[in-house]
Amino acid sequence: MIELPEKLLKLLRTAKKVAVLTGAGVSAESGVPTFRGDEGLWKKFRAEELATVEAFMRNSRLVWEWYMYRRELISSVKPNAGHYALVELENHFEDFTLITQNVDGLHRAAGSRNILELHGNITRNKCFDCGQPFEGEIDISRGDIPRCECGGKIRPDVVWFGELLPAHAINGAFDASDTAELFFSVGTSALVHPAASMPVTAKRNGAYLVEINREPTPLSDIADCALHGKSGDILPQIVEKLKE
């Protein structure tokens, strides 16, 4: 069982406003692939060459084939113990915000509710032109890209390179960071901005900062508590401490 600082134990009992930022490390523990093109046709491409507006405009079918391949890869992946521990934390705290850089939808599948998806969600679709959600079936086997009622092509609801993050997600994330009493940075390298600045913002505004990551990061030196290991091991132990 991990040993936690007394101040953190007290905040686990008394804090009302808590924010958590999660990154790829949390999903990796479930076996979510990094999608860097390790198999077959996709060895020829880099993510940066397919996840762009320009790529979609140039060859929409190719981009869709890549995303359908990605969806197939994650279709059998399940949430891990870390995902479920975050659900328990949400149920415990009065004001809990989960900010994630992951697009796989595993937090929602585990049961988390108040989620801000900074980079979108690979399981959803939207119109390229008007941005409206699209609930219809995606079938590109004949080469046709589905279209919205407005006439725009349907695309995956993820943030591509060069695009702005969704305003509601980024604004909500910084609001939660600004006001958190307790902030967890979990499974993220703390290198990709603007997400990397959220733990720092929280700390500057008086939050107690906890880092959970398999390896030290640039955040480790300023964290009030840095716990190095798998989030799927550490988060459930924190939940157990809460219940004691």
Count CB neighbours of 127 within 10 A: 20
Specify which residues 131 forms β-bridges with. none
Least confident of 3-12, 31-40, 75-84, 164-173: 31-40
Residue 112 has pLDDT above 70, yes or no: yes
Pairing of strands 154-158, 120-127: antiparallel
pLDDT of residue 243: 87
3-state secondary structure of 174: helix
Question: What pTM did the predictor assign?
Answer: 0.94
- What 8-state DSSP symbol labels residue 30? T
- Amino acid 192: pLDDT: 87
CA 226-228-230 angle, 5° bins: 130
Query: How many other C-beta atoms are found inside a 10 Å radius of the C-beta of residue 80?
Result: 23
pLDDT over 90, % of the chain: 84
SS3 call for 114: coil
Residue 15 · residue 8 · CB < 8 Å: no
Each residue's pLDDT tens digit, 191-243 = 889 999 999 999 999 999 999 999 999 999 999 999 999 999 999 999 999 98
Which residue among the candidates 119, 168, 193, 228 is catalytic per the annotation? 119
Q: What is the pLDDT of residue 41?
A: 61
**Active-site annotation holds for 119:** yes
40-76+128-158: CATH topology? SIR2/SIRT2 'Small Domain' (3.30.1600)
Same fold, 6-32+79-119+165-243 and 40-76+128-158: no
Domain-by-domain residue ranges, the chain? 6-32+79-119+165-243, 40-76+128-158
CATH topology of domain 6-32+79-119+165-243: Rossmann fold (3.40.50)
Confidence (pLDDT) at 185: 98
Confidence at 39, pLDDT banded by 50, 70, 90: low
Task: Choose between 48 and 120: higher pLDDT.
Answer: 120
| 121-169 pLDDT per residue, tens | 999 999 999 999 999 888 888 778 999 999 999 999 999 999 999 999 9
CA 199/CA 195 separation, integer angstroms: 8
Whether the per-residue pLDDT at 72 is higher than 60: the answer is: yes
